Each structure stands twice: as C-alpha cells, then as structure tokens.
Amino acid sequence: MNSNNLEAIRRQIDEVDEKLTELIEKRMNLVRQVAEYKKSTGTEILDTSREDKVIQNVLGKVKNPEYADSIKHIFQNIMHCSKEYQRKKIEAYNKQAQHKKYGLIGEKLGHSLSPEIHNMFFGMMAISSTYDLIEIPLNKLPDVLNSLKAEGYAGINVTIPYKTEIMKYLDEVSSEAAQIGAVNTIKLYPKFKGYNTDYSGFGMALDYYGVKVKGKKAAVLGSGGSARAVVTYLADNGADTITIVSRNADGAKLKYPGYKAVNIAEFSAEGYDFVINCTPVGMYPKTDCSPLNKEQLKGAGFVMDLIYNPNTTKLMEYAEELGIPCANGFYMLIAQAICAQEIWQERTIDIKIINEIYKGLKDEV
C-alpha cells in the first residue's frame, strides 16, 4: 500500500466518522427524550435487561466475527455515556426546581421511619428536598398549615391522632379522602388539599403479599382513621363480608353504618379469609400486647398488622405459632409514602422504586 492509497482509506474513514457523528447525535436526541420520560415517571436510569438486549441485537448483526469484541465494547461505552447524560439531565431538571420541604405532623413521632423513606426517595430521584418530623399538640392544629406554608413546606403527611381532625382546616379534599373521612397527605399549594394514600398503600401491600380481596371475608380490628381507609378499599374491591371489630361495637356501628360490628372480646377469626389490625395495640414501646389472644386468632387465613415497629408484633407471633401467613405494615408505609410523593411531585412513580426502598430499609425495622 502506498501513501496515496493510505490517504484514500483515511478519507473514507473520515466520511464514515462524519456519518457516525450524525447518527450518534441523533441517538443522543432520543436519549434526551428518554431522560425526560424517566424524569416525568420516576423510572430508574439503569435498565440492565434493555442494555443486554441492545448488545445481543448488535452482535447478531455483525458479519465479521473478528470485530465482535470491539463492536461490543464500543456499544457498551455508548450506553454508559447515554446513562451518564440521562443522569446529568435529570439532575439539571431537578436543580431548576426550588428546594422544597416536606414533613409529618402528629402528636408523638419518635418511632417514625418516614424521614428515612422520603429521604431515600429524594436521593434515588435526585430531588433537592428534605423531610422532617413535626410534633404538635392539639391546640396548635388550627394554625399549623399556615405556619408550615410560611416556613417553606410544600406538603405534609398526617398521622394519629389528627387524620380526621385536620380536615376542618382544609380548602378541599379528594373524593377518596371524603369517602374515607380521613386524610394522611396534604398539598399546601396552591391551596390546602387533603388526600388519603393509606387507601392505595394498603391495596399495594395486599398485592405485594398476593392477597386477593374479591369475594373474601374480612375482619378489621379498630375503627379509627386507618381502619376507614382499609374498610373503604375492601368494599371498593369486592370483599364479600367486612366485620368491624372494636372495644365499642355500638360506636363502631354508628361510624360504619351498613357493616357488621362485633365487640373485640367476643370475636373469633374462625372462617375469616384475613384479619387486619388497624389499632395501635402492640406498637412500640408496649410490644407485649395484642388486640386478640391466640385462641381468638385460630382459623384466620391471613393476618396483616398495620404496625411496623416492632417488626413482628405479638399478634403476628400468635399467627406464626398457629401457622397463619402474616405480614406487618412496613410495605404499606412505604407505598403510601411514595403515593404521597406522586401527589407532591405531580408524576407517576414506578413500582420498582417502592420495592427498592422496601428492600433497602426492611432490615432496619
């Protein structure tokens, strides 16, 4: 090969490089669109199954096996650069938004894992926000929303004992929250609007544990705000029978007209497909208590305790001793938290985010 031939080959390489540049730029335009989609839906940047498919597809089109390894490395680098571009683009989108504060209000919050859940979410989504625990006495409740808004809070969660009481200070509530009669999530802008994500969180937890509701017989222990969300979800999803189990059966009948109410001392779980504990009985620090004794729990098909601290409550211990499948409320806690973030961030969050947070934090419970 003489120098003229070499230059001719190099010119051809330059022409190929020019075309490659155009194609790579076109690819990056599409990568930017993917980044925008992932930002709006909360989808994770890393998608290993997609990358594996791309590599296999590319290698399947290589005609000369001698080039296969080189082409594989080139495309691996292209995808690495694409992921880094997406990550930087999403971070840039999020930095454009003003730093916002969120928090949980309640009477006593020392046991709460909500900050870890929300702050882990912020980290995964590259959102510049913080989440605080805000303990307030009942006499401060009337002014708390205005105070928090003035302090720069964009949204808050609400826990016991204020889920129903806070509603009188809201400008609007979602249809779900109105039906339930309790809120656990409030968006402070442009006006005070309340939602109930316990409803969706409970349903997502049942799905996670493979529990089907339609046509089943359910017993709900308790009649407070969490029980309202649980009962509404069960009714909306076709439960055949819903029994409210309470220390005050007459009071429960007034709260839940149309449903059977039973005094907790007289209740037996025999024949019930699942029992859901919506009371705080057995919660830390009084972990040696259970709303039902072991004899009462016999015959239940599944037990779910909405308490997540301790990890295994006394009620769950009874269930395990009787060979009854059971679960605590930690998955529901995470699911309802991310449902709240969907409201605040005005985007759909991929279920993978919930599962990732659950796997990352479940050993801390």
Rounded Cα distance, 268 and 265, in Å:
9
Q: What is the pLDDT of residue 222?
A: 94
Which domains are assigned to the chain? 17-36+46-84 (no CATH), 100-199+333-364 (3.40.50.10860), 210-324 (3.40.50.720)
Q: Is 63 exposed, middle or buried (0-12, 13-18, 19+ CB in 10 A)?
A: exposed
Query: Is 63 annotated as catalytic?
Result: no
Burial 75-86 (b: 16+ CB within 10 A, else e): beebbeebbebb
Spot the catalytic one: 100, 163, 187, 193: 163
Closest C-alpha to 353, from 122, 48, 73, 175: 122
Helices (H), the chain: 3-41, 48-59, 68-96, 114-125, 141-150, 175-180, 198-208, 225-236, 249-255, 294-297, 314-321, 330-345, 351-361
Q: What is the pLDDT of residue 313?
A: 97
pTM of the model: 0.72
Rounded Cα distance, 136 and 166, in Å:
12
CB 45 within 8 A of CB 37: no
DSSP code per residue over 166-182: GGGG-SEE-HHHHHHT-
Closest C-alpha to 304, from 214, 225, 215, 234: 234
328 Rama class: left (phi>0) / alpha (psi -120 to 50) / beta: beta
Q: What is the pLDDT of residue 230?
A: 96
Rounded Cα distance, 328 and 283, in Å:
11
341 Rama class: left (phi>0) / alpha (psi -120 to 50) / beta: alpha
N-term to C-term CA, the chain: 72
CB 290 within 8 A of CB 281: yes
Rounded Cα distance, 68 and 63, in Å:
9
Q: What is the pLDDT of residue 169?
A: 97
Q: What is the pLDDT of residue 229?
A: 93
- pLDDT tens per residue, the chain (365 residues)? 677 788 888 899 899 899 989 999 898 888 888 887 776 676 776 677 788 888 888 889 989 989 889 989 998 898 888 888 888 877 766 655 557 899 999 998 877 889 999 999 999 998 889 999 999 999 999 999 999 998 989 999 998 889 999 999 999 999 999 999 999 999 998 899 999 999 999 999 999 999 999 999 999 999 987 899 999 999 999 999 999 999 999 999 999 999 999 999 999 999 999 999 999 999 988 899 999 999 999 999 999 999 998 999 999 999 999 999 999 999 999 999 999 999 999 999 999 999 999 998 987 66
Rounded Cα distance, 182 and 160, in Å:
10
**Preceding amide of 142 cis, omega within 30:** no
- Assigned token pair, 162: 């204020």
Closest C-alpha to 353, from 157, 152, 20, 118: 118
Rounded Cα distance, 127 and 136, in Å:
27
